[in-house]
Amino acid sequence: MSEEPQAEWPLYEVFVRGKRGLNHVHVGSLHAADDEMAVRHARDVYTRRNEGVSIWVVRAEAITASSPDEKDPFFAPSGDKVYRHPTFYAIPDDVPHM
């Protein structure tokens, strides 16, 4: 064992697929010594009532996120592209199933 003060178990982010047909969704995080333990802990912590049919865990440090300090308007480019949204297009009310 190392002489340094005992480091914390690494942090894992946990993703759960609620049921078949749905995406895995981030539900929280936990600490575990290794991947296998992380999956087991994730089951005990986040799915005590059949909340999931599948679990992903990933070391938090392995995640790359957009705009590290949130000071850059990373998402600004999509802000002015309203034509990407269905509501941009006016469709007469009597056209069904749109």
Partner 1 sequence: MTLTDHELEQAFETTIAHNDRIEPRDWMPEGYRKTLVRQVAQHAHSEIIGMQPEGAWITRAPSLRRKAILLAKVQDEAGHGLYLYSACETLGVSRGELTDMLIQGRQKYSSIFNYPTLSYADVGTIGWLVDGAAICNQVPLCRTSFGPYGRAMIRICKEESFHQRQGYELLMTMMRGTDEQRAMVQESVDRFWWPALMMFGPPDAESPNSAQSMAWGIKRNTNDELRQRFVDMSMPQAEALGVTFPDPDLRWNEERGHYDFGTPDWDEFMQVVKGDGPCNRQRIAHRKRAHEDGAWVREAATAFAAKELSA
Distance between CA atoms of 92 and 12, rounded to whole angstroms? 49
Judged by CB under 8 A, the residue of 49, 81, 84, 85 near partner 1 is 49
Of 59, 62, 54, which is closest to residue 12 (Cα–Cα)?
A: 59
CB of 88 to partner 1, least distance (A): 22
Judged by beta carbon, residue 20 or residue 49, the one nearer partner 1 is 49
CA distances from 59 to 9, 13, 32, 45, 84 (A): 11, 6, 10, 17, 34
Site for partner 1 in 21-40 (CB under 8 A): 27-31, 33-34, 37
Binding site for partner 1 (CB under 8 A): 1, 6-9, 11, 27-31, 33-34, 37, 44-45, 48-49, 65, 67-73
